Amino acid sequence: MQRETVLTVSDLIWPLFVTDGEGVEDPVQSLPGVSRWSVDGIVKRAREAVDLGIPCIALFPNTPESARSEDGAEALNPDNLMCRAIKAVRDACGSDIGILTDVALDPYTSHGQDGLVNEDGYVLNDDTVAVLVDQALVQADAGADIVAPSDMMDGRVKAIRMALEMNGHPNVQIMSYAAKYASAFYGPFRDAVGSGGLLKGDKKSYQMDPANGDEALREIALDIAEGADSVMVKPGLAYLDVIWRAKQAFGVPVYAYQVSGEYALIEAGAAAGIGDRDALLMEKLVAFKRAGCSGVLTYHAPVAARLLNG
């Protein structure tokens, strides 16, 4: 009766990896229990989400190496993996499931960076923003409900918001990766989308220093002012203080991404016998809610949903 924090299935967003082919289920070795799915498999997972009461899925493509390039042009292809998956899920599930899509170039570039780079390998902010705008429009045209720029380029939220308004998508939301840290917890994700082995250098010139909290609030404030409907802190567990401060300062929906490394540590810890897997994952999800999250992106979404549904 006196419980202060309540976690529900409606708080969950399920990240899913899309791969080429048909009838494909390709397990991600560094993410036990997680697979890359061909579009038909993604449709099945979306239907599973509907049945479980999960309100939204988040899609990330594992673009074939042959379609990757220096400029990430495949991101603008209206028939790319992402767009095919969006359309297939929309046709199969209608409005019963929300579709959140990743806006960034790292799944499409041959160098693994989130944006365009110059001859010295430095990521070009403004040139990248122009491409991200077109990428967001392609995804909105395909049927995305929420576009989520994860690139951390400055000014991209305003540019995307203006483009959506001017191109017939005023109701498509923007969930901004507003405080995305240059974290050591992203490794399994990069394996899943195929960018890990391609990455040249690091992403510290545009992702945040893990030591900085005040900077996160400035970044979040800028994205809200530019038109973000909700903001994200990524990773989640090591940055609960940032989530709390953001919620207290701005009062907008704040989401956490329980990233691949966090997921993998729970699975590895449970396998090593340090604790019960279900208890570990639920305790961490409750922590996100207690810190002020409106919701959590987690690979444990279907497991958590089944536990919450009894």
Annotated binding site for Mg(2+): 219
Q: Which residue has the tokens 């919620």?
A: 247
Burial of 3 (0-12, 13-18, 19+ CB in 10 A): exposed
CA gap 46, 14 in Å, rounded: 9
Output the known binding site: 219
CA gap 234, 252 in Å, rounded: 16
Per the rule left: phi > 0, alpha: psi between -120 and 50, beta: everything else, 21 is: left
Torsion, CA 134, CA 140, CA 141, CA 142, rounded to 10: 120
Residues catalogued as catalytic: 180, 234
User: If you compute the radius of gyration of the chain from its CA atoms, what whole number of angstroms results?
Assistant: 18
Long-range contacts of 272-277, Cβ-Cβ distance < 8 Å, separation of 24 or more = none
